[in-house]
Amino acid sequence: MNSNQVKERAREAGADLVGIASVERLKDLSAEASPLSIFPQCKSVIVLGRRILRGALRGIEEGTNFGSTYGCFGHRYLENQFLSKTVYDLTCCLEREGIEAVPLLSFRTKGVTLDYKVMAQAAGLGETGKGGFFLTPEFGHRQRFAMILTDEAFEADELKKVSLCDNCNACAEGCPLKAVHTEKFLSSGLEGHETETFAIDEKICRACKNGASCLPETSDDVDRYAAACGRACMVALEGKTTNKFENKFRKRSVWSMDITGSAAELSFVGGQAPVKN
């Protein structure tokens, strides 16, 4: 089985994105973040991605549905069922070929945790933008990742310079709680190929009532894809990604809530202001 066959099988299993990183590219990672700590015989890391549906963010954009749209189809079901099934099916395919394969979701759990952003960058799928979101040419920030560690040395993909983030500051300007600090920077990503990201106060993000969420055993400490900052990033990237739509996502001014949950601006069509918890 070669790398092209792996990618073909991955797409048949539902993957929207697939890239391969050689373990050599990850050799400088600490033991707490290295695939070799999980699977010492690992030679390749296959990174799989499935898109976050743009329509799954619609309920939060309108301020009228926070659970059954994004909560299920953009977050929990997407990771726990759809992406998991893709990883399982491809792992079965690899095992049928006699290749040992270790399936991993991007969950933050006790023990060794692989940084999905580093793995996806190493697999040539994109890079982290200023707002801390991993950006791909296909979907911008709208995807979730999982990994498979193998003892087969597949041909690795080249690193990809995405250049989607053009310092527009949309993520920072879109945050009503001012948790994104444009004057402070961090270094993120694969060693030797880092990108600058804004410092983000996740303590504030945890209290955000503008679409952010905090759940145990998920990919991020705070899920911000559908939050005000994430939706602002998505709107700023319209027309720049290969996944395009006939109509613009944002139709009107944006609602927002302060730290207490009080609505600062209301603008809905057929809906009501989000209910204060």
pLDDT in tens, 140-165: 999 999 999 999 999 999 999 888 88
Domain count along the chain: 1
Q: 276 in a domain, yes or no?
A: no
pLDDT tops 90 at residue 98: yes
Residues 28-53 have a mean pLDDT of: 97
- Does residue 209 form part of some domain? yes
Residue 109 included in any domain:
yes
Q: Is residue 184 part of a domain?
A: yes
Query: Using 50, 70 and 90 to split pLDDT, how confident is the model at 29?
Result: very high
In a domain, 213, yes or no: yes
Residue 274 has pLDDT above 60, yes or no: no
List, in sequence order, the alpha helices (H) in 13-161: 35-38, 58-62, 77, 84-96, 116-122
Which run of H or E residues covers position 146? strand 143-150
Residue pair 38/115 in contact by the 8 Å Cβ criterion: no
Which range marks the domain in which residue 18 is found? 1-245
Return the pLDDT at 276.
Answer: 44
Q: What are the two backbone dihedrals, phi and then psi, of residue 201, each rounded to the nearest 5 degrees?
A: -85, 95
Asked if residue 55 belongs to a domain, the reply is: yes
Is 125 within the bounds of a domain?
yes
pLDDT of residue 264: 60
Among the residue ranges 50-54, 99-103, 104-108, 238-242, the one predicted with the least confidence is 104-108
Across the range 99-110, mean pLDDT stands at 89
**pLDDT number for residue 106:** 87
Question: Has residue 258 been placed in a domain?
Answer: no
